[in-house]
Amino acid sequence: MKSLNWTPLTDSADALGESPFWHPQEAALYWIDIPGRALRRADAATGAQQRWSLPSEPGCIGPMAGGGLLLALREGLFRARRLGAALERLVAAPYDPATTRFNDGRADAEGRLWVGTIYEPRDKPEAALYCFDPRGTPGLTRRAGGATTGNGLAFSPDGRTLYWSDTPDHVIRAWDLEPLTGTLTRPREFHRFAPRPAGWSPSGDPVRDTARYGGRPDGAAVDAEGHYWVAMFEGGRLLRLAPDGRVVSDWPLPVRCPTMPCFGGEDLRTLYLTTARQGRSAAELAACPLSGHVLWTRVEVPGLPVNFCANPGPGLAPGPAQALPQGLADGSSEGPLPGRSAHPLRGD
């Protein structure tokens, strides 16, 4: 594939941007800032950007078939029936929120939400992968474990392979997925990356640092050809892996810490990339000033459209509504990027 030229989408940076998705009905990009406790949105027609404060750290978000969003917050899974609406708790978190929170996740083609966790002490593999089916029995079903930071959740185009990574362990795993039942079988390593060298620490020189350490797998997306695109955190690069796990493309990035790619635009050939700046040194931020911004580029192969979370069934009664903070119920507008009336969210 040809080289990728990146352009900033946002004029304000996130501490740790994550979970981007393209909403085809709204022609808008959504994403979150985890430590910033914020939901963000960029509109294709106007270029306007909006931000909503959240009561706790979001791990991931996704659109719901009946309208609104499903949000995985530290305390559980919540539904917002519309932007700025009160949050309705669908199910409580199955862990101790003092040490664990939800992290990366997305819906499968059947409308089930698959969401991993992060065990914040990071001293043992206590993170797990859960499945939530809004149509079925209330609750979350644990489907996999043995991780520290669950990440990289994605599905093959036919919906029969599930990918899930453990970032600190530098490994992406895969399972066979039975679409109708959600059963996982045949666990295996999809790709394992070289660990961080002993004694390595960022120096502020991106070229020298990435030559010694290629980073660890963070968020991911799958394209229409079944290739897995993964952001390599601290590696300053984006990789494309073939369905057999081989690295077939490796692109350098203008940031050290990419977090998650997402395909969007009308033709799904605009690639968005969230990034991080939290905890990075002044020298690194000076060398990589786009850290924390959402970036975009055009690619040759389209991605897969977002899957919508199913509507809650009659057995799932939402909990008490929790209003978003006063003054941000309708979102704070950041306006279009300077110098243009709209950003290029649509295809060429």
Q: Report the catalytic residues.
A: 218
Q: How far apart are CA 256 and CA 5, in angstroms?
A: 16
Alpha carbon 298 to chain centroid, angstroms: 19
Task: Give residues with Cβ within 8 angstroms of 227, minimum separation 6.
Answer: 240, 241, 242, 243, 248, 301
